[in-house]
Structure 1
Amino acid sequence: MKLLLTSGGVTNDSIRAALVALLGKPIAESDALFVPTAQWGQPACDPQSVWRSTAGRWEGDSDLVGLGWRSVGVLELTALPTIAEERWTRWVREADALLVDGGEARYLYTWMQRAGLTALLPELHDTVWVGVSAGSMVLTPRVGPEFLDWQPDGPDDTLGLVDFSLFPHLDHPGWPSNTLAAARRWAERIPGRSYAIDDQTAIAVADGDVEVVSEGRWEAFGG
């Protein structure tokens, strides 16, 4: 897979250009599936927030579904175990991009496994995974206890498809605790390489190459 791991979505021209480069064609010629599942595990989210994300109605510059895709569908992971596997795996294989929304990373991790999406990922060589917050963190080795909202006393390991961890929403006005000092304390407890990124920053991963794409603020730790 090719990865575009963001904190706040496709929020500026640099991140959009990175997405187009990963797709290898214009967004208008690409088909996407939107995955809202992580929101259900985040106590701060509700049916209204899920609708806003799915409908592209968030205020500000954060968006996934409204980027001008040729087509966009919704892939709700909690529904997949109730339908025939050959139906939904075809949808995923035919998509150019998976738009994986934020919420709670461990909840998303759990449902990726239960639904069978995790097992399918190695086959998706040309698919672009566009993650927002938890939708990015789920691909890392660890999220840290600071980001456990679904099961606060549970484990914090996730898929580990990349060899670095992420601290999202750096300096976000809605999360006053997400300061650089807090990110540095978080990184001290996370083995290996990690990044703190704000909502104007993304990390693009393709063919083993990792590139920070930013019009904002970020910092790397360890490694």
Structure 2
Amino acid sequence: MKLLLTSGGVTNTSIRQALVDLVGKPIAESTALCIPTAQYGHPSVGPGVKAWEFISGRSSNPMVDLGWRSVGVLELTALPSIDEEHWVPLVREADVLLAAGGDVLYLCHWMRESGLADLLPSLEETTWVGLSAGSMVMTPEVGEDFIQWRPPGGDDSTLGLVDFSICPHLARDGMPGNSMAEAEQWAAGIAGPAYAIDDQTAIAVVDGTVEVVSEGHWRLLPS
């Protein structure tokens, strides 16, 4: 699987070009499935308006509204009650999976419960585009600062498809988001390396090769 891990979505020309390069064809010729699940578990997002805005492409984070040939919805909480033959082929046929932000452990829990996490290694040509929590879920750990919900049993691990962690929404001091000082304090509790990235930055990962794509600000915070 190819990964495009963003803080704020496909917010600029550089990130959009990185997406096209990963998919290997124009967005207008590509199919996508959007995954709103992470939104339901976050106390500041939840079900309702914001989930509808993401699915309909009316959110402030460019993801669903990029001009895809087609877009469908993959709701992970529903998948355990559906035979795999009804959803696995749809996932395999999609060029891109668009994962919304929200609560990262809620998303991770339902990726595991639904079977999507087990399916990911076989999706070699699929591109995962994450937004905030949708990006953080691919890392080994997120740290206490980003935990609002815990799954039954209390497991706070994430999927570990990459070997670094992410602090999204890096912002200048006094602006909404996470300051560099807050990111540094967070990184001190993370076992491995971590990236602090703003909403104009993304991290592309293909076959273990990591490339930062940015028209904004970011920093690699060593372990």
TM-score, scaled relative to structure 1: 0.95
**CA distance in 2 between partners of 1:174 and 1:129 (Å):** 32
1:37 aligns with: 37
Task: Assess, with a 3 A threshold, how the Cα gap between structure 1 residues 45 and 174 changes in structure 2: closer, same or farther.
Answer: farther
**CA distance in 2 between partners of 1:39 and 1:71 (Å):** 22
**CA distance in 2 between partners of 1:184 and 1:150 (Å):** 23
Task: Assess, with a 3 A threshold, how the Cα gap between structure 1 residues 104 and 155 changes in structure 2: closer, same or farther.
Answer: same
Instruction: Specify the SS of the correspondent of 1:205.
Output: strand
Alignment of 1:171-210 (within 5 A): 171=171, 176=176, 178-210=178-210
Q: Counterpart of 2:57 in structure 1: which amino acid?
A: G
**CA distance in 1 between partners of 2:77 and 2:59 (Å):** 23
How far apart are 1:208 and its partner, in Å?
A: 1.6
**CA distance in 1 between partners of 2:35 and 2:45 (Å):** 15
Structure 2, unpaired ranges of 5+: none
**CA distance in 2 between partners of 1:207 and 1:118 (Å):** 17
TM-score, scaled relative to structure 2: 0.95
Contact 1:14/1:214 (8 A) holds in 2: yes
Contact 1:172/1:198 (8 A) holds in 2: no
Contact 1:100/1:135 (8 A) holds in 2: yes
1:8-56 alpha-carbon deviations (Å, 9 max, x no partner): 0000000000000000110111100000000011011131000111111
**CA distance in 2 between partners of 1:172 and 1:130 (Å):** 25
Instruction: Specify the SS of the correspondent of 1:73.
Output: strand
**CA distance in 2 between partners of 1:80 and 1:42 (Å):** 20
**CA distance in 1 between partners of 2:6 and 2:150 (Å):** 23
Is residue 2:93 matched to residue 1:117? no
How far apart are 1:176 and its partner, in Å?
A: 4.0
**CA distance in 2 between partners of 1:198 and 1:155 (Å):** 28
2:211 aligns with: 211
What percent of counterpart residues are identical? 62
Q: CA RMSD in A?
A: 1.8
**CA distance in 2 between partners of 1:157 and 1:174 (Å):** 31
Contact 1:34/1:72 (8 A) holds in 2: yes
1:168 aligns with: 168
Task: Assess, with a 3 A threshold, how the Cα gap between structure 1 residues 136 and 123 changes in structure 2: closer, same or farther.
Answer: same
**CA distance in 1 between partners of 2:75 and 2:90 (Å):** 12
Instruction: Specify the SS of the correspondent of 2:87.
Output: helix
Is residue 2:62 matched to residue 1:56? no
Task: Assess, with a 3 A threshold, how the Cα gap between structure 1 residues 150 and 178 changes in structure 2: closer, same or farther.
Answer: same
151-160 or 162-171, larger mean C-alpha shift:
151-160
**CA distance in 2 between partners of 1:151 and 1:122 (Å):** 25
